[in-house]
Amino acid sequence: MRLSSGFRVAFTAIAALLGAATAAQADCGNIRFSVLKAGWVIGGSGGSGAFTFKGRTYPISIGGISAGFVFGASETTFSGTVCNIVSPGQVPGAYGAAGAGAAIGVGGQAIVLRNEKGATLSLVGRQVGLQINADLSGLAISMR
């Protein structure tokens, strides 16, 4: 299963429009991280990566939990933007989402999340593994 180029273009356009609404007050940075996720009804995830803002790179850690229908294990490499921020200190925090998906072998993911400080993550990812889920998920990002 591959992420079609049309879907990628549409997702990027939506993310750009969401980011443009707050461009006057805030800025965006780039983010890239890998997450390992495994579960049976309750799932856990963890990973690491980097966030780049105004030419400076910050190492980050990822942790999370999900509950609902979760089965299997996978690794996903995400890349995208963090918008609606004025400083790197707005990126750490808890991000929540409800979602459903499946990966058998290789699959794609796209998601937009927001934390309690107003930072908006717009991500696309490549998932490898065997996983089926319909769950509520939480993702925590911390600076290392």
Radius of gyration of the chain (CA): 15
Instruction: Give the range of the structural domain holding residue 126, as residue numbers without chain letter.
Output: 5-143
Query: Which CATH number fits the domain that encloses residue 135?
Result: 2.40.128
What are the pLDDT digits (tens) for 68-108? 777 889 898 999 999 999 999 999 999 977 666 666 778 77
- pTM as predicted: 0.74
Among 66, 29, 86, 67, CA closest to 140: 66
Lowest mean pLDDT among 12-21, 30-39, 95-104: 12-21
Domain count, the chain: 1
Residue 138 near residue 64, CB atoms below 8 Å? yes
